Amino acid sequence: MTQTNEPAPQTGTGGLSEPTDGAATDPFLVVEDLTVKFPTADGLVQAVTGLSYSVEQGKTLGIVGESGSGKSVSSLAVMGLHDAKRTQMSGSIRVGGKEVLGLANDKMRRIRGREVAMIFQDPLTALHPFYKVGAQISEAYRAHHDVSKSVARTKAIEMLDRVGIPQARTRVDDYPHQFSGGMRQRAMIAMALVNDPSLVIADEPTTALDVTVQAQILDLLQELQKDFNSAIIIITHDLGVVAEMADDVMVMYAGRAVEFGSTRQILTHPEMPYTWGLLSSVPDVTADPEARLIPIKGNPPSLLKPPTGCAFHPRCPHMDKVPGNLCKTTLPELTPGEHGEGHVKRCHLPDPSAIYVQEILPEIAPDLVEMTINDQFPQKTGTGLVGDSPSDDALPKER
């Protein structure tokens, strides 16, 4: 049987519980050994298992994975948005030092929106179609501030202006359907930030948007992060978004963290075959147009009956390099990677770096093999979003 519950990883100074930059401040959000299960008619869905991570003020964590990997479920748990009657949760979630897991709804409500706010994937369905945009923003403000409607309205106009809605004074009275997709997401961001939250969870904030608008929204988020000094968790399946936004990256598969490290570590020295698969399936605009994307074979596993051992083993093309039946029988622990502190991965492969450089990299970016061996940063321009990412200076310039 698989281990269903495991202790938080002990990986020295770095690791999932502490961000790599290791500043003295306490992380604003600490998630420890979080497990989320949904009882259904077909059985118990193990959506998230033994997940631990933390995010510091002013930092951005990217959570990457396919649909059903538990990335959204874990962040909805942080927001306390799971129906307590239909969800079994254990572990610990501390927001600003306070334990929020199992907090009564009326107490959790004061944290939601005020300390932790959320930006959802599709702003068209996430905004109420029957209420004016401004009214929805001032409603969020008034949920946490005892102010009059006119004060809240002024605040809403100010926020709309701040997120770059032109003529905010008149657009405040528009309905969501009168906004364009990008403007709707800007309004959603305004609504999330109106209470100056310390943590913003952005769940696929650009997935429903036009490619040309995606970059604008990401830029806006970064700009606002500087002003508000909030922590951001960005949930995405798009490694281009991660490259642009995140300080650290957590890769999730079948409800568990399978690799964690700084964005640079994950993008230059991934050590988990699932992460390799994600990198290989991202289109590279600078690559040979004839080159084919390499999708990950198979489908994400059922969380009703997750595979034994490493959950990725039924899809893993490198299983033969692991002695014995280890992948099928034993769940790999999160162990430190070979390139720097704080990088951990959940894999049995004996020498993942060598396999990556020799087998994976030549396929996805042949011209970068040399650079990577010399510890350079390979440039993934999946959505053309590389530009002012935090580690910009380390990036080779566009060819």
Partner 1 sequence: MFGYIVRRLIAGVLVLIAVSMMVFAIFFYGPNDPALAYCPESRCTPQRLDNLRHNLGLDRPAPQQYVEYMSGLVKSRHIESGGISIDCNWPCLGVSFKYRVSVFHYLWDRFPATFSVAAGGAICFLIIGLFSGIFAARRRGTMADKAIVSTSLFINAIPYYLLALLAYLYLVQGLGLFPETGYHSPFKDGPFKFVGGLALPWLMLGIAYSTQYARFSRGAMVDALNEDYVRTARAKGLMERVVVRRHALRAAIVPVVTIFGLDFAYLLAGTLFTEKIFGIQGMGLAGLDAVQRTDLPMISAYTLISAAFIVVANIVVDILYSVIDPRVRLA
Member of 157, 191, 202, 239 binding partner 1 (CB under 8 A): 191
Supply the minimum distance, in Å, between the C-beta of residue 75 and partner 1: 11
Decide if residue 93 touches partner 1 (CB under 8 A). no
Supply the minimum distance, in Å, between the C-beta of residue 150 and partner 1: 19
Supply the minimum distance, in Å, between the C-beta of residue 128 and partner 1: 4
Cβ-based nearer residue to partner 1, 130 or 146: 130
Decide if residue 96 touches partner 1 (CB under 8 A). no
Decide if residue 6 touches partner 1 (CB under 8 A). no
Decide if residue 113 touches partner 1 (CB under 8 A). yes
Decide if residue 110 touches partner 1 (CB under 8 A). yes
Per-residue contact track with partner 1, 127 to 146, x per CB under 8 A? xxxx--------xx--xx--
Do residues 1 and 46 make contact, with C-beta atoms less than 8 angstroms apart? no
Cβ-based nearer residue to partner 1, 127 or 322: 127
Decide if residue 98 touches partner 1 (CB under 8 A). no
Supply the minimum distance, in Å, between the C-beta of residue 25 and partner 1: 25
Number of residues that bind partner 1 (CB under 8 A): 28
Decide if residue 103 touches partner 1 (CB under 8 A). no
Member of 6, 66, 122, 333 binding partner 1 (CB under 8 A): 122
Q: Burial of 25 by CB count in 10 Å (0-12 exposed, 13-18 middle, 19+ buried)?
A: exposed
Decide if residue 205 touches partner 1 (CB under 8 A). no
Per-residue contact track with partner 1, 145 to 184, x per CB under 8 A? ------------------------------x-x-------
Supply the minimum distance, in Å, between the C-beta of residue 38 and partner 1: 13
Decide if residue 23 touches partner 1 (CB under 8 A). no
Please report, as ranges, the residues that interact with partner 1 according to CB under 8 A.
Answer: 79, 81, 105-106, 109-114, 117-118, 120, 122, 125-130, 139-140, 143-144, 175, 177, 191, 195
